Structure 1
Amino acid sequence: MADPSAVASKHARIHWLPLESNPDVFTQFAARAGCPLHRVNLEFCDVFGFDDELLMMLPGPAVACVLLFDTKVFDAHRETQRASGRVLPTTEGIDLFYIKQFVGNACGTIAAVHSMLNAPECVAAMEPDAPLAMFHAAARGVAAAEEGDDKAKKAAEAGGALLAEAEGLHAASEDSAAGGQTEAPDLGANVDHHFVAFVRGNDGNLYELDGRRPDGPVNWGPVKDGDLMKSVAEVVKREFVAVAGENCMLNCIALCRSG
């Protein structure tokens, strides 16, 4: 694996078109990447709010979700979370798919990839020679080759470097971004909003996956009563809504079972 600073420098000038926070766009990306969600009765859906009655509007249980937030409002707070005592250590040896972000404006794509590759149903639905399956196999391969106490960190960096050069995923992302309901910003434009994913680890805990974070996955503790979205709602209300108050502008999409 190349030096991470060299990898970051190499890809710093690369920007992808950002994905729109729109369930249809995320579904199109999944299909173009080679993971047709309908085959396993999954769909991306809008989350209209984090109160129980609004979460009940989802078509079925969520296996993951993506959250879009304003970096200007939340980044300073997020830097203090690890020291707050609210974040638990990542379970040693957990089988969690996580990569770093080196490419500008690729956070939506990475959040979608994190959501799908941590959902066993999606992994089972991947078409073998499609971009997502090929990237998954390559990232797993480089992760298995890493050694040492920091092998998880090195695996995440190697996976991020692979995504930066994954032409098939890039094409799927660009085509999906161009087909959104709002006009895509210019390539290379500075975007003040950022996507993260929330998934359930195989240890039963809720993990926030953000490819920008230097400290890697964030463990928010057990998924309560097997309901991922209720656990996400608790985190969002505490770590986002309570922090921003009237300035809180969020958008959330859940990857749900559809029946």
Structure 2
Amino acid sequence: MSVKRYRKHFIPLESNPDVFTDLIHKLGASPTLGFRDVLTLDEPELLPRPALALILIFPTLEAYESQKEKEEALYEECAGSAREEEVVWFEQTINNACGLYAILHAVCNGDARNFIHTGSFLATLLETCLTPRERALALESSGELESAYATAAKQGDSAVPANAEDEVDFHFVCFAKSSKNSHMYELDGDRKGPVDKGALLGSNDDIFTEGVLGIVREYIQREGGESSNFSLMALVRA
């Protein structure tokens, strides 16, 4: 398995909904959007709603790497433009920033796009960077993003790593709806592109359909069924 080389390194974000919410507001998302912990998959009345996207945090164990390698062999690298894409996908080119890429996937797809302020960092990114390569370069070179991210990474309860190049054992992926169709996509900047999970959402559904929840459960089962090693956040609209 090839090892990805990065030109830039960030301190990893704590998987904390307050930290994630603060960062999306700094980047231009409306205060009406925010992240909430998902504490159960089996009690519908306790799910935070209306949810626009999910971010799953999980250990990068051998089962995940093996599954990813099999799936990667089935499709080509993403190279389309925003005019053709069903979803906006960001290639991860900044080390240890998978939390950032999950946040970007959550707020830049589906109905969440309607809650991005005109003229903000996020709005400019979507309007001017029409290919994955353009988006990757824009994220790497943005001082505004780096400053906002550095502030967010120092928040939370976890100790900040001394070295941004140290590898971490957890990974973040996003599940979000296309703004062009009813399909749900797995969005992971460490893959070749977005993974279409099928038409699991109706036009008026939030993300918590049984089909989407089933995919989350599959992740947990694949890694041995230890749900305590996983956490889940939902991007919700107030």
Shorter chain as denominator, the TM-score bin is 0.7 to 0.9
Give the counterpart of 1:241 among 215, 220, 229: 220
Q: Which of 73, 76, 95 is the aligned partner of 2:66?
A: 76
Q: Residue 105 of structure 1 is aligned with which of 83, 96, 99?
A: 96
Does the C-alpha gap of structure 1 residues 116 and 78 become closer, same or farther in structure 2, counting only changes over 3 Å? same
Instruction: Give, in angstroms, the shift of residue 111 of structure 1.
Output: 0.8
1:83, CA displacement in angstroms? 6.6
Give deviations 1:148-173, integer Å, cap 9, x for gaps. Answer: xxxxxxx2132112211122112111
- CA distance in 1 between counterparts of 2:189 and 2:103 reads 12
Question: Do structure 1's residue 193 and structure 2's residue 183 form an aligned pair?
Answer: no
Number of the residue aligned with 1:222 = 199
Separation in 1 of the partners of 2:191 and 2:34? Answer: 27
Which consecutive unaligned segments of at least 5 residues does structure 2 have?
Answer: 75-82
Give TM-score, length-normalised by structure 2.
0.83
Which position in structure 2 is the counterpart of 1:256? 236
Pick closer, same or farther for the CA change 1:236–1:176 going to 2, 3 Å.
same
**Whole-angstrom CA distance in 2 between matches of 1:67 and 1:59:** 15
In structure 1, what is the equivalent of residue 150 of structure 2? 174
TM (norm. structure 1) is 0.77
Structure 1 residue aligned with 2:18: 24
* Aligned partners of 1:94 and 1:203 also within 8 Å: no
- 1:45 deviation in Å? 0.6
Deviations 1:182-210 (A, max 9, x none): 12223221112111111111210110011
SS of corresponding position for 1:56: helix
Match of 1:165 among 141, 162, 182: 141
In structure 1, C-alpha distance between the alignment counterparts of 2:171 and 2:133, rounded to whole Å: 19
2:223 & 2:86 partners in 1: Cα distance? 33
Deviations 1:25-57 (A, max 9, x none): 11100111122332xxx3211011322x1x431
What's the counterpart of residue 29 of structure 2?
A: 35
Aligned-pair identity (%): 31
Q: SS of the counterpart of 2:8?
A: coil
2:37 equivalent to 1:59: no
How many Å separate the matches in 2 of 1:46 and 1:65?
10
**Aligned equivalents of 2:195 and 2:175: distance in 1?**
9
**TM superposition outliers: structure 1 runs of 4+ over 4 Å:** none
Specify whether residues 78 and 28 from structure 1 end up closer, same or farther in structure 2 by C-alpha distance, changes over 3 A only. same
Q: Over the residues paired in the alignment, what is the CA RMSD in angstroms?
A: 2.5
The amino acid across from 1:156 in the alignment is P
Question: Aligned equivalents of 2:236 and 2:87: distance in 1?
Answer: 19
Closer, same or farther: CA 124–205 of 1 in aligned 2, 3 Å: closer
Structure 1 contact 45–58 (Cα < 8 Å) conserved: no
Structure 2 residue 179 is the aligned partner of structure 1 residue 204:
no
Q: What residue is the counterpart of 1:130 in the other structure? A: 120
Q: Alignment partner for residue 40 of structure 2, among 45, 49, 70? A: 49
Q: Secondary structure at the match of 2:197?
A: strand
Counterpart contact for 2:17–2:233, Cα < 8 Å: yes
> What residue is the counterpart of 2:80 in the other structure?
none
In the TM superposition, residue 67 of structure 1 has moved relative to its aligned partner by 0.9
Q: CA deviation at 1:72?
A: 2.3
Q: Return the alpha-carbon distance in structure 2 between the equivalents of residues 229 and 75 of structure 1.
A: 26
